[in-house]
Amino acid sequence: MTSALAAKGEPLASAPLAVIVNRGGGTAAKLGDKLEEQVRAAFAATGRPIDLHCVEGRDIPQAVARARGGTVAVGGGDGTLSCAAGVLARQQRRLAVLPLGTLNHFAHAIGLDGTLEQAARVAAGDHARRIDLGCAGDRLFINNASIGIYARMVRDRDRRALPKWLATIPAALGVLARPGARHVRLMIDGETRFIKTPLLFVGNNRYSLATGRLGERAELRDGLLSLYAVAERGSLGLIVTAIRVLAGKADPQADFAALADAREVVVAGHGEHQVAIDGEVHQMPFPLRFAIRPAALAVMVPAGESTGASE
């Protein structure tokens, strides 16, 4: 296969690869003063020169937009990668992923094993595939978006001066004590649905509920959003639902007010509301339109990965 990089006048042997790292990402922050050294060492092993910039999370959009070259390697968590993906998709450039966040869901979805060494080899390589992106209003997302208790939990978690994993525990207990189900009018591919739910989840492509594959996506180019609206429950009922879902034994009738695959979902409403997008909370105006953007982003992946069509 002809190298996509070479075809765009970006020879692997000489052109420095732009590498933008969010120094505040989970793994990046733990590396501290060793962050730059380890990133450089990982790429040195590939023989590809790099132009490295370690920046604050708020500076990621500008740094990515200014970076040179047809491919930009971005290090950080899913929120950082989502932000970068939006910029690069609009510029018709490729994203290479460095898993330097906390959970790195997207990195795993595209076949990375979580090591910086493998990610550097993939970033310096020539194997790109196009994947879908979701959009919520004018914001693109790589994983998912949600309205309800998860957005409230994330906002509470991020206010606490604790490591993210530890802050999640009191934040989750706090929202479960007050689930706050809301009446929602949905338009799902033009069909109106009225539901009451504490959590509306919209995924970029199909998310599995199966045992052993919970939260995984077999494909990143299905051309569909997956919608899950949790059924109204009290605190104890939501805990029971969560246990069933985590065990891979969810009851579609009892545990969900709505389940659907769709190309477009519109949530009715007025004013602004909290929406969690790839793990970060944003205030967004309603009505809010969710849609799928087929094959919107080219991503560098390990050779042989089947996450979409070749670039």
In what helix (H) or strand (E) does residue 225 lie, and over which residues does it extend?
strand 225-230
Range of the domain at 220: 141-292
Euclidean distance between CA atoms 309 and 296, whole angstroms = 11
User: Is residue 150 domain-shared with residue 262, that is, in the same domain?
Assistant: yes
DSSP single-letter state for residue 205: B
Backbone dihedral angles phi then psi of residue 24, each to the nearest 5 degrees: -95, 0
User: Is residue 122 domain-shared with residue 222, that is, in the same domain?
Assistant: no
pLDDT tens digit sequence for 101-160? 988 999 999 999 999 999 999 999 999 999 999 999 999 999 999 999 999 999 898 888
Q: Which residues pair with 262 in a beta bridge?
A: 225
User: Is residue 90 domain-shared with residue 154, that is, in the same domain?
Assistant: no
pLDDT tens digit sequence for 181-194? 999 999 999 999 99
Is 8's pLDDT higher than 80?
no
What is the predicted pLDDT for the residue at 87? 98
User: Is residue 184 domain-shared with residue 227, that is, in the same domain?
Assistant: yes
Q: How many domains does the chain have?
A: 2
User: Is residue 170 domain-shared with residue 212, that is, in the same domain?
Assistant: yes
User: Is residue 214 domain-shared with residue 267, that is, in the same domain?
Assistant: yes
Alpha-carbon torsion (297, 302, 306, 311), positive or negative: positive
pLDDT tens digit sequence for 287-302? 999 999 999 999 999 9
What is the predicted pLDDT for the residue at 29? 93
User: Is residue 75 domain-shared with residue 169, that is, in the same domain?
Assistant: no
DSSP single-letter state for residue 58: G
What is the predicted pLDDT for the residue at 97? 98
Domain harbouring 79, CATH code: 3.40.50.10330
Q: Minimum mean pLDDT among 12-16, 202-206, 262-266: which range? A: 12-16
Q: Would residue 302 count as lying in a domain? A: no
Alpha-carbon torsion (180, 181, 187, 188), positive or negative: positive
Q: Would residue 132 count as lying in a domain? A: no
**pLDDT, mean over the chain:** 91
User: Is residue 242 domain-shared with residue 151, that is, in the same domain?
Assistant: yes
